[in-house]
Every structure is written in C-alpha cells, then in structure tokens.
C-alpha cells in the first residue's frame, strides 16, 4: 500500500468498526417519534462500565430531566461482560430535536431523535390500512389484465386501488439490511420506527431473550388510548408477522404462543385469520401451545364473540351487541381465493366455510364502527406473498384481485359513512415478479419454452370474462399470462397453473442440498431450471425470496394528500398518526411533564 | 394432471438396499423385535375423525392402536435442528420458508417421529415409511419445547 493511502484506509477501518467499541443507543439515531408515544430507552455499552464514569445526557442535561425517571444500570447483561442502561416505558411530550449523548468515561456516542407533534384537530375518524403482503407491480399488472381486460390498447377499467388520488413509492429497507421481511416491514407501518428482519415492535438489541428487546408503541396501543376500536383481519395465521405487528413486541416473529398473549393483552377489538392451534391448551389435540392456557376461553371471558366459520362470523357481526370478535377459520392459513372459490384445493375440503378477506373486512367494519370514537383496521391479503414464495403465479394473482375487491368495498363503505375514513393501500415488501408475455399452447411443437410469446406475439391472454368479483372462472386457458420470478431455487418450470394444489418448487435432498422437487419433472413440457439462490447451508432457499424493490402506496380520504413522491415506509405511520392526531402527549405517571402538569393543576 | 404422476406410485420404496443400509440401526433397536411384525398401516386419512379449528378428534382406529406397533407413510419435514432426535412426518412434502422455519409453519395434522437409532439422511421429497409404537397425548419435547399430540416412538425409517 502506498503511504499516502494509509491514513484514509485506517479512518475507514475505524468508521466501519466503531460500533464494536462505542455505545449503541435505542431508539436509534434519526428515529422519528410521535410526541407522547411510549418507548424503551436503552444504552448498550461495549464492556462492563464503572457507574461513576457513566454519563447519559439529553440535549446537554441529565436524561432523567427529559425522560422523567432514572434507568437501571445492568452491570452484566445476560451474564456477559457488557453493561447496559435500561429504562422501560417512557415518552417525550414536547416536540423537537433530542440529542442523546452517552459516555462510559472513555467512549462517547450520540444519537438524535426527532419528536414530532400531530395536529390538534383530528381530520380522519377512521383508518383502513390494506397490506398486500409481497404485493409487487407485476402482481398488480397481472391482476388488472385478468380482472379488467384490455380493449383498443387500453384497460377496460381501473383497479379500485388504482383509482385513488394519491400515490407514493415507499422504500422498505431496515436497520440491518436492504431486504426486509414481513415482520420489520409491517413494524415500520405500525410503529413508525425502523427495525431488523424478524422483529416486531422492538429494536434489535443484544438482549438474549427475544421478548426483552427495547419496545416501541404500536398503532393499536396509541389508538386504544384515544378510545378508538382496532382490528386486524388476514388470510394468514393471525400470529403471522403482518397482523402481529399490530400488537407484538418480540425480536422473533415465530414466537406464536407469546404473540397470542400479546393480542389478548392489547385488547384489540377484532382479529381474524387462521392459526388456531396456538390458542388451544396443550392438552387439546391439535394444540401447538407448550402450556395449558386456553386462550379461546380467555377471549370468550373477555367478551369476544368467537367465530370459526364464515356463517358464525356473519351472525356475530350482524348481532348489534357484538363489539369484540375473534375469528379463527383454519388451523393454518386461510385458503386463497383461487382454491376457496374455484379449484377447492388446499384445505378447502377440511375447512369448507372459510371467509375471504373481503367478507372478513365487511364483518370487521360492522363491529368496529359500533365504536363512535372511530377505528383503525388492518386488512391483509397475506398469500400474495406466500404464493410468490412458492412461485405459484395464478394463486398470487387471484389473491391480488381479492385485495382489490376488499379495497373496492372499503371505498364504498367510506363513501356511505361520512367520507371521513383514510384508506391506504400498499405492500410491505416486494417480490421479483414480472409479466413478460403469455404462454400459447396453440403454437406448434412440444417445447414449452418456444410457446412463450413475447412482445407482439404475446397478444392478450384468453381468460374468460371475469365474474362480478373480477375473477375469470378458468385459469388453465390456452393463452395464459406468463408471470416470472427473478430469484429462485432449482425448480421444474411447468409453464402451466397448478390445478392440484400450491406449487412446492424445491426440497432438500439427502445430502442437505436444496434441489428441484421431482414431483413435477414428468409433467408434459416441464423443464428443469437451475436456480440462482443459495442451495446449500443454513440459508439454502427452497422457494422464491423477497426483493428490495420499492412498493406502491395509493391513498384517499382525509390526510391522504401527504402521500406523494418517495417516502420511507415509516412515513406511512406518521400519515396515520397525523390524520388521527395520535401525538397528543399521554405520558406515564412517572414522566416529568405529567408531574409538572399535576403540580400546576393543584396550585 | 399432477395426479397422473403422483410420487406414491412412481417411487414406492425399494426396501432391499435400504434395509441393508439400516442393518446397523437394528442392533440399537431395543424394541425392534417387538415391532418387526407390525402390520397395521395407519394413514393420515384414517388417523383423525375430524380436524377442526378448535381441535382434532382421533379416529376409533387410531385410539385402538394406541401403544401398539404401526406403520405410517408420509414425508419427512426438514428437522428444526440437524441434531434433532425426532422429526415431523407430514402428509405432503412441506415447503418451509428459511426465514421462518419453526414449528409455527408446520401443519396441525402432523406426526412426530422419535427415532430408535441415528437418523439416516433422506430426501425430503421422497415418501418414506416409518414403523414404531403409536403414542397419543400431549407431549412437550424436553430439549426443544416442541409440542406433539401423536407420536411414533422407537421408530425405524425406510425410504
């Protein structure tokens, strides 16, 4: 190395290795925090510290002055040679920039938070947030082609989610990676904070226990404090990442048993989806719990109506006395639209009376709107993502059409109920999917690859005219859409819809290598595709993966005008917080501002 | 379409070579002599009377076979940990997302297999046959916390 390059190189080395030797502060640098929202404050020191040398200041004064109470200094966190300062459940009521400086006597680190107020006047009564899990532009285009059709070079109609006045590109990166999973992606929407893969309602600290990481307030907690009703409906397991982000605080999204308890503790008013086994005590056959807590019984005792089928759900929703509803319709995920309505595959034979998300949402609207203070409702079409992982285009497209149907009904509901509902439609992350043409069986030859029609040869697919819900009644048509996946394991490309059940592209072989699932190899025309994802080791991929592409947000209703340009996914939370005026200071009793207010009122 | 090339017929296990490979395991199998003549084949279809949101009901046949030697066919799910002494037998091959691999992703109607010996590597897309003693009732695995309701214990695997 030439001498004059040594200094810059060392400086770079110091910069990239700095976190090892300095403090880590939670909430992290550049966090946006709504005034009055609760959070855990934690400073992680690089080693065991001398308490006499530790100093933590906020805006140049002892942190206690801002946060209202003293933290616990944990000398050896989790028995390791590291100390941490931890203060749970604090808040800051006054908006502004807050610079936190923490030193152990040797190393000093700073972070700045932006605490923002929300307008005093609330402009929206209700918020409906639609999340198409993994919903990408390719899905959107394919759904529009199938459900609207094209004539004279133009679509014959718009999707309900296209026909909204405001649009933005949301970026989805997290604190650890350019790629998010559904956990930290949904967490950004429901907390306004960035976090890392697999995390819900927490920052990713070094705590050993997944439930002990620094927590941040959820939309559910903030809305409930205002007296609003809150709901989450999905066709995944209710404990899955997106609905769980409404209530959960865990570093590990698969803590399903804990997440059920968090739903219960949150007092969320409506929750619907699959995933019943984690509600059942372990003594009940079919349970996945490791304890004997019967959450079905606990929810009933807390005045929730229980629905285990569409019929029961509709009866409960139509009962004017129902204000809390727990709907569990499947042991696993609720079946997607293609299986539920047309093919009757998946688990439809086992669970023949499952609602789709449109019906779930309509029931939820009836129940939630009984609260005169308004509501926040999350509606998730979860299996767009799951079917994109399994590389099953038609199932992903039908669940995109289902999402749009729910949006259409929500728009109608909002119009009929005072036009004071903010409606947001987005995805949590994307998949690398694209519409590249059609597959035309009528072309000569046996090689399916040469029946893939591109550019002008693609023409228009020949699906039958869609039904009133926008679904063509048949997917195995002779000229069908070609939606391709850009990141894959090895798999057999069959060039046709999976009429007998969801695709399972790859499975581990006896040597631990992920290989194409040979169940499909003898299908006429099937071709082995060598994948481009890892096939060995802990991260071997047996399915498609998320992409880091931006996602689209469309919006309408009060507050929607703030949706424009490129925004961070956390900005979506702020739009909701501002529309509902969630930022009014509401601080714990120990908080200094509250104490002052109390003192003043006594004077 | 897929029915016509279903794995079950095309890949019916050929036992001779596998049996040879399994021979070392047999010497460790304390209970193997008791099980060698097991003839009752249980299928996923007859194991349960009903699978509902609020729980599973076992069939009369399954309850009658409790504690007895049975054989079952299915697919091995990739184990939670490579060193696990048990694995999950499923009706169909499962595709588990590498980001969310946990018991949460597995279907409710699974059988947990506790092996008699060391697990021989198998291809997770090949149907296997398991033979052992049927246990019914809730059990929490002491090392992993994994909860199971139906188990085949002291089991041998044939692929």
Picking from A487, A501, A504, the residue whose alpha carbon sits closest to that of residue B75 is A504
Any A CB within 8 A of B102 CB: yes
Under a CB-based contact definition with an 8 Å cutoff, are residues A256 and A239 in contact?
yes
How close A101 comes to chain B (CA, Å)?
A: 35
- Flag whether the ipTM exceeds 0.90: no
Could A286 and B107 be called an inter-chain contact, meaning their C-beta atoms sit closer than 8 Å? no
Is A7 inside a domain boundary? no
Question: Which of A72, A98, A116 lies at the terminal end of a domain, its last residue?
Answer: A116
Q: How much is the average pLDDT of A133-147?
A: 98
Let me know whether A276 and A419 are in one domain.
yes
Identify the pLDDT of residue B44: 86
The pairing of beta strand A229-237 with beta strand B41-42: unpaired
Q: Measured between CB atoms, does A236 come within 8 Å of chain B?
A: no
> Would you say A413 and A556 are in contact if contact means Cβ atoms under 8 Å apart?
no
Identify whether A326 is part of a domain: no
Reported pTM: 0.89
pLDDT for A405-448, tens place per residue? Answer: 999 999 999 999 999 999 999 999 999 999 999 999 999 999 99
Which CATH code of 3.40.50.2300, 3.40.50.720, 3.40.50.2000, 2.40.50.140 fits the domain covering B12-158? 2.40.50.140
- Beta pairing, strands A325-328 & A305-307: parallel
Is residue A309 part of the annotated active site? The answer reads no
Q: Is A213 annotated as contributing to ligand binding?
A: no
Least confident of A245-249, A308-312, B18-22: B18-22
Which residue intervals of A167-210 are DSSP H helices? 182-191
Residues A171 and A263 in one domain: yes
Catalytic-role residue among A182, A195, A287, A547: A182
A228/B contact by beta carbon, under 8 A:
no
Residue A67 confidence class, pLDDT cut points 50, 70, 90: very high
Q: Which domain holds residue A43?
A: 20-116
A277: in domain: yes
Q: Is A562 exposed, middle or buried (0-12, 13-18, 19+ CB in 10 A)?
A: middle
3-state SS record for B6-69: CHHHHCCCCHHHHHHHHHHHHCCCCCHHHHCCCCCEECHHHHEEEEECCEEEECHHHHHCCCCE
Sign of the CA dihedral running A377, A351, A285, B158:
negative
Name the residue of chain B whose CA is nearest to A197's CA.
B99
| % of chain A at pLDDT higher than 90 | 89
Number of structural domains chain A divides into: 3
Q: Check if the beta carbon of residue B40 is closer than 8 Å to that of residue B55.
A: no
Evaluate whether residue A320 is within a structural domain: no
Residue A259 resides in a domain: yes
Same domain, A151 and A187: yes
Tracing tokens 């279809």 back to the chain, one arrives at B45
Domain ranges of chain B: 12-158
What CATH code is carried by the domain that includes residue A235? 3.40.720.10
């Amino acid at each position: 190395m030439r001498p004059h390059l040594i200094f810059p190189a060392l400086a770079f080395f110091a910069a990239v290795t700095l976190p090892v030797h300095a403090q880590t502060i939670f909430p992290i640098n550049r966090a946006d925090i709504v005034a009055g929202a609760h959070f855990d404050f934690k400073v992680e020191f690089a080693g065991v510290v001398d308490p006499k040398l530790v100093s933590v200041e906020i805006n140049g004064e002892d942190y206690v002055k801002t946060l209202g109470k003293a933290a616990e200094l944990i000398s050896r966190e989790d028995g390791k040679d590291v100390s941490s300062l931890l203060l749970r459940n604090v808040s800051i009521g006054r908006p502004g920039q807050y610079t936190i400086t923490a030193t152990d006597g040797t190393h000093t680190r700073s972070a700045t938070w932006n605490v923002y107020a929300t307008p005093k006047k609330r402009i929206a009564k209700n918020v409906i947030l639609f999340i198409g899990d993994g919903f990408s532009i390719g899905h959107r285009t394919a759904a529009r082609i199938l459900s609207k059709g094209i004539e004279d070079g133009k679509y014959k109609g718009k999707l309900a989610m296209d026909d909204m006045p405001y649009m933005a590109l949301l970026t989805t990166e997290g604190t650890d990676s350019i790629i998010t999973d559904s956990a930290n992606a949904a967490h950004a929407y429901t907390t306004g904070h960035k976090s890392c893969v697999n995390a819900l309602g927490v920052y990713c600290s070094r705590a050993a226990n997944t439930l002990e990481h620094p927590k941040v307030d959820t939309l559910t907690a903030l809305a409930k404090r205002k007296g609003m009703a809150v709901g989450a409906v999905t066709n995944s397991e209710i404990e899955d990442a997106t609905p769980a982000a409404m209530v959960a605080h865990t570093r590990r999204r698969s803590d399903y048993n804990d997440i059920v308890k968090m739903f219960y503790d949150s007092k969320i008013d409506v929750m619907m989806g699959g995933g019943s086994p984690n509600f059942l005590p372990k003594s009940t056959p079919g349970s996945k719990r490791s304890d004997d807590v019967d959450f079905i019984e606990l929810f009933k005792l807390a005045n929730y109506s229980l629905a285990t089928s569409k019929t029961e759900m509709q009866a409960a929703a139509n009962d004017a006395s129902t204000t809390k509803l727990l709907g569990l319709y499947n042991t696993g995920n609720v079946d997607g639209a293609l299986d539920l309505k047309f093919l009757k595959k998946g688990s439809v034979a086992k669970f023949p009376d499952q609602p789709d998300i449109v019906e779930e949402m309509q029931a939820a609207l009836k129940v939630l709107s009984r609260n005169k203070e308004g509501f926040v409702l999350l509606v998730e079409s979860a299996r767009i993502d799951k079917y994109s992982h399994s590389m099953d285009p038609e199932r992903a497209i039908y669940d995109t059409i289902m999402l749009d149907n729910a949006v259409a009904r929500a728009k109608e509901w909002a119009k009929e109920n005072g036009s004071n509902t903010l409606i947001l439609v987005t995805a949590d992350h994307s998949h690398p999917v694209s519409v590249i043409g059609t597959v035309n069986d009528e072309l000569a030859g046996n090689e399916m690859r040469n029946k893939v029609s591109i550019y002008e040869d693609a023409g228009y697919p020949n699906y039958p005219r869609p039904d009133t819900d926008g679904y063509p009644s048949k997917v195995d048509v002779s000229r069908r859409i070609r939606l391709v996946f850009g990141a894959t394991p090895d798999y057999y490309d069959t060039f046709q819809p999976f009429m007998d059940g969801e695709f399972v592209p790859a499975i581990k072989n006896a040597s631990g290598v992920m290989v194409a699932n040979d169940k499909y190899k003898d299908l006429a025309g099937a071709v082995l595709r060598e994948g481009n994802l890892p096939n060995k080791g802990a991260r071997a991929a047996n399915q498609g993966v998320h992409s880091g592409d931006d996602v689209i947000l469309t919006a309408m209703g009060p507050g929607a005008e703030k949706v424009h340009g490129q925004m961070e996914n956390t900005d979506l939370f702020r739009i909701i917080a501002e529309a509902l005026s969630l930022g009014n200071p509401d601080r714990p009793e120990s908080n200094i501002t509250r104490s002052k207010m109390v003192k003043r009122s006594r004077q | 379409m897929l029915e016509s090339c279903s794995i079950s017929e095309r890949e019916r296990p050929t036992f001779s070579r596998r049996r040879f490979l399994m021979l070392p395991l047999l010497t460790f199998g304390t209970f193997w002599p008791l099980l060698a003549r097991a003839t009752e084949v249980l299928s996923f279809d007859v194991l349960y009377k009903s699978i509902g949101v609020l729980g599973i009901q076992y069939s009369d046949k399954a309850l009658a076979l409790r504690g007895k030697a049975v054989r079952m066919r299915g697919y091995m799910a990739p184990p939670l940990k490579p060193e696990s002494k048990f694995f999950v037998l499923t009706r169909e091959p499962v595709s588990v997302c590498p980001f969310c691999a946990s018991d949460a992703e597995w279907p409710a109607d699974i059988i947990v297999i506790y092996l008699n010996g060391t697990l021989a590597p198998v291809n997770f897309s090949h149907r296997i046959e398991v033979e052992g003693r049927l246990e019914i009732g809730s059990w929490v695995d002491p090392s992993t916390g994994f909860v199971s309701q139906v188990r085949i214990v002291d089991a041998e695997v044939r692929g």
